[in-house]
Structures are given as structure tokens and as C-alpha cells.
Amino acid sequence: MRPILMKGHERPLTFLKYNRDGDLLFSCAKDHNPTVWFADNGERLGTYRGHNGAVWCCDVSRDSARLITGSADQTAKLWNVQSGQQLFTFNFDSPARAVDFSVGDKLAVITTDPFMDVTSAIHVKRIAGDPEDQIGESALILKGPQGRINRAVWGPLNRTIISAGEDAVVRIWDSETGKLLKENDPEAGHKKTITSLAKSVDGSHFLTGSLDKSAKLWDTRTLTLIKTYVTERPVNAVAMSPLCDHVVLGGGQDASTVTTTDHRSGKFEAKFYDKILQEEIGGVKGHFGPINALAFNPDGKSFSSGGEDGYVRLHHFDSDYFHIKI
């Protein structure tokens, strides 16, 4: 399995996202320019210019027509995927962190960081079919907990919003009323900041990764803990295979301590675990720094990782990967 190295970002990667067809890969980094690549050969298709801060997160609509990005410049922007043109800018009083389109792309959830006296918040925006009609007002604002909210995603049928972040608690909110419906059991939950969250294809369960060196699999409806995957380094990124029962964890020590160790001991590989048995089944090395982003192609036959080193590595699996026996 030879990786394709995609060099286009000058700063560390923050997020990776495939479109639904799996032919495009969107990458966000701290260098202000979200980029889109061809997902089969890693060729760069273009960049979306307009942010002037690190871009933390992105999502692409089901028809691959619209891209939404959340940035440290206190805005979230809507883009035309094909032309790279800015369609609309949502302005906030603090950096925008996580963005996620709802099923049907009529709504988007955007989280904002705590900043000065502003607490973190979860904003629900209506997304107009025609960008001319787009308005900036929030349909709903949830005042978040203390600390940053690193991820917020839509639950099944857009009825709920699932959020997780610095206070290590997974919360489920009612997306109509803004009421807090569930929090995870503190005993079962993470002990440190939750950095990442990935939903399964059918939305029935989701995976969270945390700086407490573990990833946990949760039931979306009841918020019960199903599995825990333990590793020996902080987890910055998680992904779930849509094809096999595999989960991938990526991470490494904090970026500020990286230079003190050899890159082989820095544990900068993407680790594959069996989703059911919780056993480690393999690793993919290559990055010269912590892995900050992971994504599986919707067909399950390739995956990509983005690192602190500014590279995106695209891996197409060999045939024997699909027959791994434990």
C-alpha cells in the first residue's frame, strides 16, 4: 500500500472530509486555504480563498455543490464547490470551530469558541437553496458548557445535535427546542478533552477520540457506551470504516513536545482496531508529526490522514486488507 503524498498546505492539517460520492477530498489547515483534491490520484483541484485565519472544519453538501467552512477568523463561509466562489459569510463574536450540514442540507450547525467574555455556543443556521436568499440569523443558539466545543454533529433525522469538547462530556440536545436531552455517564465517559467525533454510516452509533489516550464507541439514541479502544498516545482524530468493522485512531504527543523525541517513537501512525473485538490489527506509519485528521472514503477502499507536518497522505488499501483475520 503506497501512500500518495499530497502537499498543498503550508501549515498543520486540521480536518479532512470526503464528499458523498467519494471522488473529492476536502482538506482544512491552519494556513487559511481549504483545498479540494481528486480522491483517486491526489491531484489538487483548487483552493477556497477568503478566510484569514486557521480553518478548523468543513462539510460538503450531499450533492457536492456547497462547502461550509468554520474558521478562527470568527466566520463560517459557504462556498460554491465547483467555482470556488464565496456565497455567504456568517459572522460571529468568537472563532467558529465545528460545522456540519444536516440531512437534506437545509440546516447547518456551527459551534463557536469561548473568547473574552463570550461562552462557547452552538448555532443552528438555515441554509437557503438560493444563495441570494441566504440570511445570517441563527434559527437557534444553544449556550454551551464551559470550555471549547470541538465537535457538533446532527443526530438521526436532524432531531438532535450531538456535541463534545473540552469538558470531556458528550451531550445530546434537542435541535428544535435547544433543550439538553442527555449527557454521558461520567463513570463511562472520557477523562480529558474530546478532540474528535465520527458517526457511523447509518448514524446508529458514533466514535469519540480523546486526549485521555482512548476512543469510545457510543449508541446514538441512548448514549450508552458500547466499546472502548485504548492506545498509548493522545487521540486527535478518529474514523470508522464504512465497509469493514474497523476503527482508525490517529494522534501523537502534543505538537509542542514533538521535537524532543525520535519520529519513530513519536507514535505518529494511524492505528487500526477491530471495532468489535477492540484488538489492534495494524498501523500505517508515515507522518512526521501527530495526525490531526482522518477520513475514510465512503466506499471503504481508501483512507486519508492529515498531519501536523502539513501533508495529506492518501492510502488505497491492498486486497489483503479486506481479509484480515484476527
Can you give the CATH number for the domain in which 100 is found? 2.130.10.10
Has residue 109 been placed in a domain?
yes
Residue 150 lies in domain: 3-230
Has residue 160 been placed in a domain?
yes
Has residue 311 been placed in a domain?
no
pLDDT digits (tens, 9 = 90+) for 82-139: 999 999 999 999 999 999 999 999 999 999 999 888 899 999 999 999 989 999 999 9
Has residue 267 been placed in a domain?
no
pLDDT digits (tens, 9 = 90+) for 52-64: 999 999 999 999 9
- The Cα–Cα gap between 78 and 273 comes to 35
Has residue 54 been placed in a domain?
yes
Q: Does residue 85 come out as left (phi exceeding 0), alpha (psi in the -120 to 50 range) or beta?
A: beta
Q: Look at 60-69, 112-121, 211-220 and tell me which has the smallest mean pLDDT.
A: 112-121
| Mean pLDDT of the region 74-87 | 96
Has residue 293 been placed in a domain?
no
Query: Are 235 and 229 in contact, with CB atoms under 8 Å apart?
Result: no
- Distances from the Cα of 108 to the Cαs of 18, 145, 154, 157, 201, in angstroms? 17, 20, 9, 13, 19
- Provide the domain count of the chain: 1
pLDDT digits (tens, 9 = 90+) for 234-261: 999 999 999 999 999 998 876 566 555 5
